[in-house]
Amino acid sequence: MDFNKEPLKKRAITVAELYNALTERLGVSLERLNKVSMNRKIVERDIHRPGLALAGFTNLFTYRRVQILGNTESRFLKQFTPEKRCEVFANITPYKIPCICITDANDFDEDLLKMATEARIPVFRTSLSTTKFIYLVTDFLDDQFAPYQIFHGSMVDVYGIGMFFAGRSGIGKSEIALDLVERGHRLVADDAVVITRKGESVLMASGTDVMGHFMEIRGLGFINVEKIFGVRAVRYQKRLELVVELMEWDSKTEYDRTGLAPKSISILGVPVQHIQLPIYPGKNITVIAEVIALNYLLKHYGYDPAQELDKRILEKIAEQSKGGKKKKFSFSANKVKCNPKKDRAIEYFEHDFE
């Protein structure tokens, strides 16, 4: 499967979308100070504080960003006479600014508001501090302009671990996801999975607005997992932590049998652990998927069974070497070979034959 697709990115959002998200979804009290159209486009995820631009230095003025007037900018404007204040504010009004947001409930001069209205610049005011407001706006814009891509596969939350099943069409990804749901795990998306990069190292997965939690089962057709199994069987988003690639068994292919050298792949520039799982008729992939998730949790909390076994074997070799005894340990075919009569875990069974 090709995970090296070029990321997609939203080109722009409107000021109205930003305003609605802040007021309705995030509960920010944002007052509209003028009644101008909010259809202006926001094309950058960063914000700008136009202190230098107000002072007259506009060579590097990033006017296409949301402009924040905090305590510093407000007090800078207040120190001037009304005439001079308008002259200073006129340094930025000729530019096509998406919107201006005033924080800390600072006053905004009526003459300046009139200038902004004439320039068709939406002006808002909030009682939030500049730091808090910038955090909320930046977080929302970062999400909206985050790189994303759509991949073919099934995304399931298994024991709290986001597991993406990949593989050729028809290999059984949806059936495995359905079996996991029946065992109490939660479906995130099937067939078309939208993976979005949040920040620099987090990948979030979700379904498409059309598919939702519908699933195609070959020979049966489409089913709605949420309607059949209930709301407890689905999730709308989940962090991607593991990619399990289903591969048809090939006796000539060498598969990982120790787990000492885990593989990873890059999705949208973020490394993700990659497990290639050979399958054949009769193999219980669902249970193996659960074990993969539990093993990942163990490693996350500091216990690596492969390294632990490797450590025990090396200690045994060192112990035998010190005692002057020669004992052969072989890693042939990635399996340890030793004498079962002398190396069993139980020294004496004590008549307990259960």
User: Mind listing the pLDDT tens digit for each residue in 81-99?
Assistant: 999 999 999 999 999 999 9
**Same domain? 124 vs 262:** no
What is the rounded distance in angstroms from the CA atom of residue 162 to the CA atom of residue 239? Answer: 6
What is the rounded distance in angstroms from the CA atom of residue 307 to the CA atom of residue 128? Answer: 51
pLDDT of residue 333: 43
Domain membership of residue 312 as a residue range: 306-354
**Same domain? 282 vs 174:** yes
Overall average pLDDT of the 137-147 stretch:
95
> CA–CA distance from 297 to each of 69, 261, 290 (Å)?
46, 17, 11
Overall average pLDDT of the 52-66 stretch:
95
**Same domain? 296 vs 312:** no
Q: What is the pLDDT of residues 151-207, one digit of tens each?
A: 999 999 999 999 999 999 889 899 999 999 999 999 999 999 999 999 889 999 999
Q: What is the pLDDT of residues 246-304, one digit of tens each?
A: 998 888 888 888 888 889 999 999 999 999 999 887 788 999 999 999 999 999 999 99
Query: Which of 300, 326, 346 lies at the terminal end of a domain, its last residue?
Result: 300
Query: Which of 144, 165, 194 lies at the terminal end of a domain, its last residue?
Result: 144
pLDDT of residue 324: 62
Q: What angle do CA 24, 29, 31 make, to 5 degrees?
A: 105
pLDDT of residue 259: 84
**Same domain? 119 vs 162:** no
**Same domain? 153 vs 294:** yes
What is the rounded distance in angstroms from the CA atom of residue 306 to the CA atom of residue 299? Answer: 10
Return the C-alpha torsion angle 66, 72, 73, 75, nearest 10: 150
Instruction: Show which residues are catalytic.
Output: 152, 173, 191, 257
Strands 30-32 and 123-126: antiparallel
Residue 165 makes CB contacts below 8 A (sequence gap 6+) with 153, 154, 155, 156, 173, 176, 177, 244, 246, 289
Q: How many CB atoms lie within 10 A of CB 112?
A: 22
**Same domain? 42 vs 185:** no
The overall average pLDDT reported for the chain is 90
pLDDT bin (cut points 50, 70, 90) of residue 332 is very low
Residue 96 falls inside a structural domain: yes
**Same domain? 296 vs 160:** yes
**Pick from 143, 244, 255, 158: which is nearest to 202 by CA?**
143
**Same domain? 220 vs 93:** no
Number of domains in the chain: 3
- Is residue 344 predicted with pLDDT exceeding 70? no
Residue 267 falls inside a structural domain: yes
